[in-house]
């Protein structure tokens, strides 16, 4: 294997590997650890590539083949890095989508409340005010004309006032209805837009969840509980029992509080 390829392999394998302190393994109860040296890994890769090439009638020699293998290896590692990055991005995106969905649901709730409030409004609620205005205008008119005024003139003047007030009533009502209608339409349009957005977000979230990468990291199988062979077995057993007892007491205290 060429020195360049060997060096690249070494660096890439170091980059891809996970480091675990020996003491951690010891604490986890591992007494023997299988070790495969980099040289052995290198030899195995070389052997595998060489065997495959031989079967295909090719030979692993010459700088071109070495360079090609090196490039292939680098490409695989890049692909792996890209894949990891993609998974990270997807998970981030999924997180953002879930938050967006929550926000949209909250806004939809608010808009829905606004629609209900708007529906409860009566656009003709100003008519009482107009009635009062009509009555005061008629009274003022009669007062102004005095008790000796021509009855016909008074009736005509009152009719004119009433007609003007009625026209105003119609105008106000129409404007209120139009405004109410416009507001309702605006709210409904907003609601529809939000619902469409929510639908889109939910389907995007579903897609992101389907492609959501690793489901989590499972634990290595562990035989739980203290091992009899532990040098401090009795002391630890007693201490663990005490921790458990204290936690039971804590829960009981919380229940009674």
Partner 1 sequence: MVTTQNKQSADSQAQAPADHGDVKIGNAGKSSSAKTKGNASKAGESKLDTEKDIVYIGMDLGTSRTAIAASNGVRESLPSLIGYPKDVVAQKLLARDVLFGKDVIKHRLSLKTFRPLAKGVIKGSTDDGVDAKEAEANMIAARQLVKHAIEMARAPADSLVYCVIGAPAEASINNRHAILEAAKEVIDSVMICSEPFAVAYGMDVLSDALVIDIGAGTTDLCRMHGTLPEDDDQVTIDYAGDAIDDKLVELIKAAHPDVSFSRQMAIEAKEDFATVSDTAQPIIVEWPVKGKPTKIDITEQMKEACHSIVPHIVDALGEIVASFDPEFQVVLRNNVLLGGGGSQIRGLADAISEYMGEHLGGGHVTQVEEPVFAGSNGALKISKDMPTDFWEQLS
Site residues (CB under 8 A) for partner 1?
18, 20-21, 23-24, 27, 88, 91-92, 94-96, 98-99, 209, 212-222, 224-226, 230-232, 235-236, 238-240, 242-244, 246-248, 250-251, 253-254, 257
Closer CB to partner 1, 41 or 250, in the complex: 250
Instruction: Count how many Cα atoms sit within 13 Å of the Cα of residue 194 in the half-sphere of its side chain.
Output: 19
Cα–Cα distance between 49 and 47 in angstroms, integer? Answer: 6
CA torsion sign for 73, 92, 220, 246 is positive
Residues found in the chain: 257
Q: Indicate the residue among 142 and 197 with the shorter CB distance to partner 1.
A: 197
CB of 83 to partner 1, least distance (A): 14
Query: Which residues are CB-neighbours of 123 under 8 A, at least 6 positions away?
Result: 173, 176, 177, 179, 180
Closest approach of partner 1 to the CB of residue 35, in Å:
18
* CB 66, CB 8: distance < 8 Å: no
180, 181, 191: which is closest to 111 by C-alpha?
191
Show the tokens assigned to 46. 């070389």
Q: Closest approach of Cβ 218 to partner 1, in Å?
A: 5
Nearest-approach distance from CB 190 to partner 1, in angstroms: 17
Nearer to partner 1, 62 or 241 (CB): 241
> Which C-beta is closer to partner 1: that of 146 or that of 221?
221
In the complex, what is the shortest distance from the CB of residue 227 to partner 1, in angstroms, rounded to a whole number? 8
d(Cα 91, Cα 76) in Å, to the nearest integer?
Answer: 22
- Indicate the residue among 48 and 226 with the shorter CB distance to partner 1: 226
35 Ramachandran zone, left/alpha/beta (phi>0; psi -120 to 50)? beta
Which CB sits closer to partner 1, 97 or 157?
A: 97
Position of tokens 């650890």? 33
Shortest Å, Cβ 219 to partner 1: 4
Burial (CB count <10 Å: 0-12, 13-18, 19+), residue 69: buried
Instruction: Give least dist CB 32 to partner 1, A.
Output: 18
Residue with Cβ nearer partner 1 (149 or 239) = 239
Provide long-range contacts, Cβ within 8 A and 24+ apart, for 117-121.
118/180, 118/183, 118/184, 118/187, 119/184, 121/180
């Amino acid at each position: 294997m060429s020195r360049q390829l060997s060096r690249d392999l070494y660096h890439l394998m170091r980059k891809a590997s996970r480091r675990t302190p020996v003491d951690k393994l010891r604490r986890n109860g591992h007494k023997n650890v299988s070790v495969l040296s980099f040289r052995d890994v290198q030899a195995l890769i070389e052997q595998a590539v060489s065997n495959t090439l031989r079967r295909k009638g090719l030979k692993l020699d010459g700088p071109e083949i070495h360079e090609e293998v090196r490039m292939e290896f680098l490409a695989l590692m890049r692909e792996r890095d890209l894949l990891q990055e993609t998974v990270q991005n997807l998970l981030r995106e999924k997180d953002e989508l879930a938050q967006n969905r929550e926000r949209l649901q909250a806004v939809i709730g608010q808009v829905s409340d606004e629609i209900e409030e708007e529906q409860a409004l009566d656009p003709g609620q100003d008519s009482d005010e107009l009635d009062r205005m009509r009555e005061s205008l008629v009274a003022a008119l009669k007062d102004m004309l005095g008790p000796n005024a021509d009855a016909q003139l008074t009736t005509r003047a009152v009719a004119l006032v009433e007609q003007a007030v009625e026209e105003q009533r119609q105008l106000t009502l129409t404007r209120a209805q139009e405004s109410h209608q416009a507001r309702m339409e605006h709210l409904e349009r907003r609601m529809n837009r939000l619902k469409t957005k929510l639908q889109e977000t939910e389907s995007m979230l579903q897609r992101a969840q389907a492609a959501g990468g690793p489901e989590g990291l499972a634990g290595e199988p562990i035989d739980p509980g203290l091992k009899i062979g532990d040098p401090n077995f009795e002391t630890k057993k007693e201490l663990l029992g005490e921790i458990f007892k204290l936690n039971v007491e804590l829960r009981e205290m919380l229940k009674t509080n």
